[in-house]
Amino acid sequence: MSTAVSPLAPLHVPEMPAIAGVRLATAAAGIRYAGRTDVLLVLLDEGTAAAGVFTRSKCPSAPVEWCRAHLKKGKARVLVVNSGNANAFTGKSGRDACKFTAQIASRAAGCKPEDVFLASTGVIGEPLKAQAFEGVMEGLVARAQAGDFLAAARAIMTTDTFPKVATATAKIGKATVTINGIAKGAGMIAPDMATMLSFVFTDAAISSPALQSLLKDGADDTFNAVTIDGDTSTSDTLMMFASGQSGAPRIARASDPRLKGFKKALHAVLANLSEQIARDGEGARKLVEIVVEGAVSKASARRIAMSI
């Protein structure tokens, strides 16, 4: 996580409303650095639908493999994300770390391990010491509450210079539903998302097959249209969770005309997050260096970058 903020960082950070059926907590587990939050736990109400889009790398990380294997069920109760270690190129030890993390999270949350989804970001090729989660998991579950998506976005940062959040609302029937998203990713950005993580939450009631279709379509011209340095990594993860707690009618098909406004709002959130990732790429870092050296003002650097 950088201390110099990209000159292309958003000028305003939106207020992120709470979403019914979604509770969050963060902790410092010492995965790689002492004294900084590096674990995010999200508790999801029973019946929450899940969808996901992942890397096309032929060497996916252990968490990506775990999520793919359990996404077929289409339901989720817990999301655990860590920064500092990507748990990639770690072989059997990486798979064991996923299994161990899911077991302690499910035990603390009172669900099954297959209801737990995992994501990791950070250094590649080093074993993830999942025992570190054991010291914080019960506390995370106990503290989890609706609300602080900005803290959640900070907990998953690695080389990012600012937390990335976005929100939107839409009508489904007569009910208003909310969509919140967080993301991280600054280096190694390429089509199919590269080294980025993003998690989107809504209180809409949408079936998992419909949610999967909506997410895939939304990613095609947002996250999958971003490129900075041509690299593709092992850990690309974009997941969406629908708690169904808004009071809106349940939607079973992505083609349902009642989703027209929701599709537009979802696209806006995905586009906003993917743009923030691009703004925080390594080209922006060079502008940061120029600003720090005093060659141009922050405002001038912003104008230069936006004109490229």
Among the ranges given (127-141, 184-198, 241-255, 289-303), the one the predictor scored with the smallest mean pLDDT: 289-303
Among the ranges given (31-40, 165-174, 204-213, 236-245), the one the predictor scored with the smallest mean pLDDT: 31-40
57-71 pLDDT, tens digit per residue, is: 888 999 999 999 999
Beta bridge partners of 13: none
Q: Are strands 78-85 and 39-44 parallel, antiparallel or unpaired?
A: antiparallel
Asked if 201 and 39 touch (Cβ cutoff 8 Å), the reply is no
Q: Is the pLDDT of residue 295 over 70?
A: no
**H helices of the chain, where?**
62-71, 91-109, 131-134, 137-143, 149-155, 208-220, 260-279, 282-293, 298-307
Q: 222 catalytic, yes or no?
A: no
- The one-letter code for the residue type at 184 is K
The pLDDT of residue 94 = 97
b/e 243-252 (16+ beta carbons within 10 angstroms → b): bbbbebeebe
Q: Tell me what the pLDDT averaged over the chain comes to.
A: 89
Asked if 179 and 216 touch (Cβ cutoff 8 Å), the reply is no
The residues, ordered by sequence, that sit 6+ positions from 166 with a Cβ below 8 Å of its Cβ are: 14, 180, 181, 268, 269, 272, 273, 276
64-116 pLDDT, tens digit per residue, is: 999 999 999 999 999 999 999 999 999 999 999 999 999 999 999 999 999 99
Of these residues, 121, 195, 202, 222, which one is catalytic? 195
C-alpha 178/C-alpha 266 separation (Å) is 10
Mean per-residue pLDDT for 238-263?
98
The pLDDT of residue 22 = 98
C-alpha 93/C-alpha 209 separation (Å) is 32
Does pTM surpass 0.75?
yes
Q: How confident is the model at residue 159 (pLDDT cuts 50, 70, 90)?
A: confident
Q: How confident is the model at residue 193 (pLDDT cuts 50, 70, 90)?
A: very low
DSSP state of 223: G
Cα atoms found within 13 Å of the Cα of residue 194, Cβ hemisphere only? 21
Among the ranges given (58-62, 157-161, 220-224, 280-284), the one the predictor scored with the smallest mean pLDDT: 280-284
Give the angle subtended at the CA of 238 by the CAs of 171 and 68, to the nearest 5°.
Answer: 115
Token pair of 226 as six digits = 């971003």
The pLDDT of residue 149 = 98
Mean per-residue pLDDT for 178-201?
76
Q: How confident is the model at residue 297 (pLDDT cuts 50, 70, 90)?
A: low
DSSP state of 250: P
Q: Is the pLDDT of residue 35 over 50?
A: yes
Provide the percentage of residues in the chain whose pLDDT is more than 90: 71
Burial (0-12, 13-18, 19+ Cβ within 10 Å), 182: buried
First to last CA, the chain: 25
Cα atoms found within 13 Å of the Cα of residue 156, Cβ hemisphere only? 32
Q: Is the pLDDT of residue 52 over 50?
A: yes
